[in-house]
Amino acid sequence: MQDLNKAVFLDRDGTINYDPGYLGNPDEVKLYDGVSAGIYKLKQNGFLIIVISNQSGISRGIITREQVESVNGRINQLLKKSNTEIDEFFYCPYHPYYDDADKCQCRKPSPEMVFNAAKKYNINLSESFFVGDRETDIDCGKNAGLKTILIKNTLTQNQIISLQKAGKTPNFVAADFNEVCEFILSVSIGGN
């Protein structure tokens, strides 16, 4: 029987790149400090890197699928300068205000995209992580049985406290992507 893979699932906007809101122009892609080196290090340690993002701007008519694909391509183009890349981008283009409930089942906090990736790449979810900058990311990770990391790129301290009060405390809160990687590698290598 084939060994299972381990993965780090990443939210996109606000987690690995700056989020100007409904990012559709690949020329506006700017990665956060430490993301390229961090993804390189995680991949060197055997992790698949998979992006899981809501892209409701498509349903809203603000951006197109082609623009989302172009932005994803630009992210990988930037990462390749550091000899690394995202293994695959999964995204949900739907929003409940604009689409029926069946279509919206892929939308985070639903774990559907994570489960689809896990099936495709033979991923052991108990050995994997979800990293994001919002409550929906933490919920998605928890719903999929992943260890969760909240990155404070866009959150205020009050928002973090509110998450804790709602019983949605992540496994770790990171100030930046370097701390994300340090935590993942310490847990993974430490065998916890």
The β-bridge partners of 13 are: 17
Q: Where does residue 84 rank: exposed (0-12), middle (13-18), buried (19+ CB within 10 A)?
A: buried
- Our count of domains for the chain comes to 1
**Looking at the domain assignment, is residue 183 inside a domain?**
yes
Cα separation values, 76 from 15, 63, 69, Å = 15, 19, 11
HSE-CB at 150 with a 13 A cutoff on CA atoms is 22
Does pLDDT of 136 surpass 50? yes
**Looking at the domain assignment, is residue 79 inside a domain?**
yes
CATH number at residue 119: 3.40.50.1000
- Please tell me the predicted confidence (pLDDT) of residue 161: 80
pLDDT tens digits, one per residue of 141-155: 999 999 999 999 877
Of 3, 11, 133, 139, catalytic: 11
pLDDT tens digits, one per residue of 83-108: 999 999 999 999 999 999 999 999 99
> Going along the chain, which residue ranges are E strands?
6-10, 47-54, 88-92, 129-132, 147-151, 172-174
Of 13, 87, 133, 137, catalytic: 13
- How many CB atoms within 10 Å of residue 33? 10
Does pLDDT of 129 surpass 60? yes
**Looking at the domain assignment, is residue 24 inside a domain?**
yes
d(CA 161, CA 30): 28
Closest to 136 in 3D by CA, of 118, 163, 157, 158 = 163
Q: What is the DSSP string of 94-149?
A: --TTTS-TTGGGGSTTS-HHHHHHHHHHTB-GGG-EEEESSHHHHHHHHHTT-EEE
- Please tell me the predicted confidence (pLDDT) of residue 168: 80
Domain membership of residue 183 as a residue range = 6-190
**Looking at the domain assignment, is residue 1 inside a domain?**
no
- Please tell me the predicted confidence (pLDDT) of residue 52: 98
Q: Catalytic: 19?
A: no
**Looking at the domain assignment, is residue 16 inside a domain?**
yes
Polymer length of the chain = 192
d(CA 188, CA 45): 9
Q: Catalytic: 33?
A: no
Does pLDDT of 46 surpass 90? yes
**Looking at the domain assignment, is residue 60 inside a domain?**
yes
Residue 109 preceded by cis peptide, ω within 30:
yes
**Looking at the domain assignment, is residue 131 inside a domain?**
yes
pTM of the model: 0.94
- 95 vs 192, residue with greater confidence: 95
